[in-house]
Amino acid sequence: MTKIKTVDHLASIKTYEGVKPLEVIAEELNIPVAKIIKIDGNENPYDPLPEVLAALSSLKNIGNYPDILCSNLIQILAKKEKLEVNNFVISSGSDELIELLIKAYANPSDTVLSVTPTFGMISFLAQVHGIKHKAVSQQLVKKESFAHYVLDEDQFLDEANRSKIVFIARPNNPDGNVVSESFIERLVALPVLVVIDEAYIEFSDFHSLAKLVPQYENFVVLRTFSKAYGLGGLRVGYGIMPNDIRKVLVSIKQPYNVNIAGQKAAFAALSSPLVDQRITEMKKTREWFINQLKMVQNQLKNFWIHPSDACYVLLTFESPEIPKNLYEYLYSKGILVRYYSSSDMINNLRISIGLQENMVKVIDEIKLFLKGGN
């Protein structure tokens, strides 16, 4: 028998750590699914939007292939963003656009640049395609209750000059920080493709940079229906970009990349007044949660809170044991938060913003754990 070897660049690939399905965890913990508080994947905590459920239940013609271009969805998005229809590509989650951009624009000798820490999909997809990935480390700065990752912008610009594509999540995952618009303007003046991932922009007080797209040939903004619109399971994202880049991506994407259910659901979600209400509630809960954490922090002083413009809060602890034990403690109570096993993030836990009533339970458990001398 002959064992078939993969292409060389896959020999040492680091698998992307996704989140486990809820049903699997419920069985593991012997807890009903409904009792689990899932705040590990930055997902939307609310029930599906009624407009989405209505659209899904009225689906017909699912035996036919979907519209390749998602024309209805693009039209409504173009109107909403006050841009042209030929500035949009719809994708199977914004993840797909990260991959398409790498496929279309990075040669094996090119470098894809991002910061660290950031969304793991960028380095993962660069590796999958055998493209060099470089990450500029951000410095962790602690000040009173808060911690911040600070980017050396000049160092990043210098690296960007030697790169083909630059990805910046704004707000960044995992910390929720937002880089300045003036920094992005300096970046986009360089001969590099600048991709701003706005997966969490709806939760931020900073506005989107999509309005800059018509001014540049090398500027792309990514958005998603997975977070503010609660459609993570249906996989719909979109990119806003110059027409020349759009044409390239459309020419190489899988034709039927977004299924009929996803197209209809995203269209319906855009008409729901509940979306903005829920975002407002989540921002209030985020504020409340950070204040509660600050009160705990005043007494215990063994962790720092990252101010966040997104739907999650990152906590940095003084040593790796505390986040690991806290993660395990919360897990045993059916509260799932994001634990990091990688050495650069081992002192951190990321907690997504869930429903207010659940976040009350979360803070109570955190208090119990931390006051227990851990």
Shortest spacing between CB 201 and ligand PLP, in angstroms: 10
d(C-alpha 275, C-alpha 282), whole Å: 11
160 versus 169: smaller Cβ distance to ligand PLP: 169
Q: How far apart are the first and last CA of the chain?
A: 54
Q: Which is nearer to ligand PLP, 279 or 322 (CB)?
A: 279
CB of 185 to ligand PLP, least distance (A): 21
| H or E element that contains 368 | helix 356-371
Q: Minimum distance from CB of 119 to ligand PLP (Å)?
A: 4
Q: 211, 69 in Cβ contact below 8 A?
A: no
Rounded least distance, CB 345 to ligand PLP, Å: 14
| Nearest distance, CB of residue 16 and ligand PLP, angstroms | 11
Distances, alpha carbon 135 to alpha carbons 94, 126, 159, in Å: 20, 12, 9
Tell me the DSSP string of 233-294. GG--EEEE--HHHHHHHHHHS-TT-S-HHHHHHHHHHTT-THHHHHHHHHHHHHHHHHHHHH
Using CB positions, name the residue nearest to ligand PLP.
93
Q: Could you tell me if 118 and 135 are in contact, meaning their C-beta atoms sit under 8 angstroms apart?
A: yes
Least Å distance, CB 100 to ligand PLP, is 12
Taking the complex as a whole, how short is the minimal distance between the CB of residue 263 and ligand PLP, in angstroms? 14
- List of residues contacting ligand PLP (CB under 6 A): 42, 93-95, 119, 169, 173, 197, 199, 224, 226, 232, 237
The residue (of 124 and 289) whose beta carbon lies closer to ligand PLP is 124
- Is the CB of 173 or the CB of 316 nearer to ligand PLP? 173
Is the Cβ of residue 129 or residue 361 nearer to ligand PLP in the bound state? 129
- Sign of CA pseudo-dihedral 161, 162, 164, 167: negative
Longest dimension (CA), the chain: 64
CB burial readout 39-63, b (16+ within 10 A) else e:
bbbbbbbeeebebbeebbeeeeeee
Closest to ligand PLP by CB, 94 or 218: 94
Which residue, 66 or 174, has its beta carbon nearer to ligand PLP?
174
